[in-house]
Amino acid sequence: MDSILALPMSVLPFLVVLTIIVFVHEMGHYLVARWNGIAIQTFSIGFGPELVGFTDKKGTRWRIAAIPLGGYVRFVGDMNPASQPDEEFIERAGPELSRQLFVNKNVWQRIAVVVAGPAANVLFTLLILYALLLGYGRYMAPAVVQTVTPDSAAMEAGLQSGDRILAIDGFAVRGFDDVLRLVSTAPQRTITIELERAGAVETVRATPRVAEITDRWGGVHRVGRLGLENKFEVSDYVLYKPNPVEAIGMTFEEVRFIIDRTVAFIGDFFVGRGDVQQLGGPIKMATVSQQVATLGILPLVNLIAMLSLNIGLINLLPIPVLDGGHLLYYLIEAARGKPLTQRVQEIGFRFGLAVVLTLMVFTFTIDVPDLLRRIAGS
């Protein structure tokens, strides 16, 4: 019953999270397009019928639509939100309007507009993480090994009680929470551990074993475990607040970590280590948003930062329909000195649409059974 009652409650945090991320992404496209003198027809949050909207002085229609699963900036002269050019409209456009059409801008201007969306997501993530570090800092416990579990990955790697862990896979370790995070996101992947032992710096390699954990909401996750048993008292934690310059480096390192683990997560599926149950679509995103929202505003803000970065990266995949597909077309155009034919672009668009729809159906096949299991277990 609790899960059933939670369904409506999960909608609001989900809408807040997704709307912010989509707005940032589309605003990136919009601003760079404006700076390049491109006429914009529509700025839409969501797809489908318009719920509310207005037209500004430059003729752009700002709207919120009924299906809140994305958004788009549609340029004057586009046939649809996917930026396919309307050849008949373009031919009828007068000299003044023609200069403002996206399709008539040089290839580097078009590349800048396409890249601006994902870049805005990345920049947004950097700003959030930087602000959180400066404003709140981090509570950290010492990254010193207390106990090594017998017959564990840590024991096989030669880790010992008293070792101070300095870095894992090149990422600096400032506290034991960093150790847990770096290890848990690398199940069955060999990691390099830099440590200090008896005043000397040593490097060892270990392969975290897979463990299944159940979160407070009943979700099951596959994580990496070394076999380190550290027990801390509240007094062991200290608040670490970096200065503004150090926080910049820590923020970029955090973003690099997220990108590294995201790429590794995707790569696992190509080598047979991937767990499809860790994937999900809109339903899972709504559930996670609602769960995180119960923890407070700061965890929710952190979730927005993480999802913003991931959505920015996903949009750069070279799949027609996504920004990365358009970017691929324009890079080919820049290399060969002329655009691909409309026929080739149309075929690519249909292929990309098929891939995206297939992925959506696939994630729903994971989301729905998981949701039903949660309801049945309530």
Residue 55, helix vs strand vs coil? strand
pLDDT at 130: 95
Transcribe 341-375 into DSSP letters.
PHHHHHHHHHHHHHHHHHHHHHHHHHHHHHHHHHH
Handedness of CA 362, 363, 367, 368 (dihedral sign): negative
pLDDT at 259: 87
pLDDT at 26: 95
pLDDT at 219: 66
Ranges of residues in the chain with a pLDDT under 50 are 1-5
pLDDT at 60: 94
pLDDT at 4: 47
pLDDT at 235: 81
Give residue-wise pLDDT tens across range 34-67. 999 999 999 999 988 999 999 999 999 999 999 8
pLDDT at 277: 58
| 87 given a catalytic annotation | no
Pick the catalytic residue: 26, 50, 229, 346?
26
pLDDT at 339: 85
Integer Cα distance of 368 and 280 in angstroms: 9
Place of tokens 């807040």: 16
Integer Cα distance of 241 and 243 in angstroms: 7
pLDDT at 368: 62
List helix spans (H) across 239-376.
244-268, 282-293, 297-314, 323-336, 342-376
pLDDT at 1: 44
Spell out where the chain has E strands: 40-55, 61-75, 138-140, 164-168, 171-172, 191-197, 200-206, 209-214, 220-225, 238-240
